[in-house]
Amino acid sequence: MSDFPAIPEGWAYLDTAATAQKPRAVIDAIARGYGETYATVHRGVYQRSADMTLAFEAARRRTAAFINARSAEEIVFLRGATEAINLVAQSWGGTFLKAGDRILLSMLEHHSNIVPWQMAADRVGAVIDVAPLTADGRIDLDAVEAMLTERHKIVALAHVSNVLGSVLDARRAVDLAHRVGANILLDGCQSVPRMPVDVQALGCDFYVFSAHKLYGPTGIGVLWGRGDLLDAMPPMHGGGAMIDKVSFEGTTYAPPPARFEAGTPHVVGVLGLHAAIDYVDGIGLDAIHAHETALVRETREALQTLNSLRLFGPEDSAGIVSFAIEGVHPHDVGTILDESRVAIRAGHHCAQPLMSHLGVDATARASFGVYNGRQDVEAFVRGIERVTRIFG
């Protein structure tokens, strides 16, 4: 807990799936970036700018190594995973999708992995198919296998559900997509902070995640794409830094990743991402996954004793416990828990189609991070018991 100055003693922060608190190492890296070493990157010939450029590109290499990308040139820095998915949908989708093509999503996707594909489909006349879920809340890959055809050009799935914590069998999903000639994008926002990710072993074509869920700063996201796919994609934004040559007769573009990074980047945010990656690697993602899985198991076991409470998702969910209490709105659950100094999420979690599938308007969600321990589970369970007493 001492690593996380924003978590005071006695406060149980259980909203890591929304955004993770920041360790001192990340805060210090950001403070140094603005306070001691700040300069723009890529264009300055003076020493500090050159030094900052080296640090910025070192962060790109560190990010590539973190997910085992083939090269740093496959790493694109964007504002978040949302912008990363939009880039693929608009650039790759706008180039390669045509009328009659099909896009496969799943019932549990975050809005950020639904709406960009709807926009792309509307522009070109493509069709979206939705894979169902198994009884315990996993993407049904048997159904995916039956649904996929050669008309499917892109499959986009969450590696870990932000609501249910269910973990996709990503390697099988990739194999199924490739069997029909489709590319596959994996949304790694909830997986990258919780388990080791190796994009080469997975064999996927695109992978996206956000820094702020990885104990890093807001305003930075990562798109990893296969080099040949990035080479074939046009830029989404125009401006400085993404060009080769500009004239009023026409413009040529820089190769990836610069082609997709128009304007002055979030330099210090990238330094913060580097520090966050170093921090979680220092703990070990296998250790983080084991720790969070144990907390989930303990939480679910305690909640299963309450007859009025309904749990969602699989028993082995990754760091996330979603639930509903009969007769109590999730916002009321969150408010009462806050009075007990327990912070959880309540709402549709940017997954309204999933809420409809579950038959609820919203759920309450507790999600764990490296800073949580048994005392947080105990405080949470005491708070839930208080909720049930108040509402009878």
* CB proximity list for 142: less than 8 A, separation 6 or greater: none
Averaged pLDDT for residues 220-240: 97
For residue 1, what pLDDT is reported?
58
- Looking at the chain, the whole-number percentage of residues with pLDDT higher than 70 is 100
* CB proximity list for 51: less than 8 A, separation 6 or greater: 37, 39
Q: Please give the radius of gyration of the chain, using alpha carbons only, rounded to the nearest integer.
A: 22
Within a domain: residue 126? yes
Domain boundaries, position 344: 284-390
pLDDT tops 80 at residue 150: yes
Asked if residue 21 lies in contact with residue 2, where contact means CB atoms within 8 angstroms, the answer is no
The H-assigned helical ranges of 245-371 are: 267-283, 285-303, 330-339, 352-358
Within a domain: residue 7? no
Averaged pLDDT for residues 129-158: 98
Q: Is the pTM of this model over 0.95?
A: yes
Within a domain: residue 3? no
Q: Are strands 206-210 and 221-225 parallel, antiparallel or unpaired?
A: antiparallel
H or E stretch including 341? none
Confidence of residue 79 (pLDDT cuts 50, 70, 90): very high
The answer to whether residues 274 and 288 belong to one domain is no
The answer to whether residues 63 and 160 belong to one domain is yes
Q: What is the CATH number of the domain that holds 136?
A: 3.40.640.10
- Looking at the chain, the whole-number percentage of residues with pLDDT higher than 90 is 98
Averaged pLDDT for residues 10-39: 97
Active site residues: 350
Q: State the sign of the Cα–Cα–Cα–Cα dihedral 353, 135, 194, 53.
A: negative
Structural domains in the chain (count): 2
Q: What is the CATH number of the domain that holds 339?
A: 3.90.1150.10
Within a domain: residue 336? yes
Averaged pLDDT for residues 182-211: 98
The answer to whether residues 260 and 291 belong to one domain is no
- The two three-digit tokens of residue 264, written as one number: 């002055």
Each residue's pLDDT tens digit, 90-115: 999 999 999 999 999 999 999 999 99
pLDDT tops 80 at residue 319: yes
The answer to whether residues 199 and 314 belong to one domain is no
CA 339, CA 267: separation in Å to the nearest integer? 38
Q: At what angle do helices 374-390 and 285-303 cross, to 10 degrees?
A: 30
End-of-domain residue from the set 253, 281, 309: 281
Confidence of residue 198 (pLDDT cuts 50, 70, 90): very high
CA 348, CA 60: separation in Å to the nearest integer? 34
Each residue's pLDDT tens digit, 262-286: 999 999 999 999 999 999 999 999 9
Within a domain: residue 235? yes
The answer to whether residues 193 and 342 belong to one domain is no
Confidence of residue 392 (pLDDT cuts 50, 70, 90): confident
Centroid of chain to Cα 235: 22
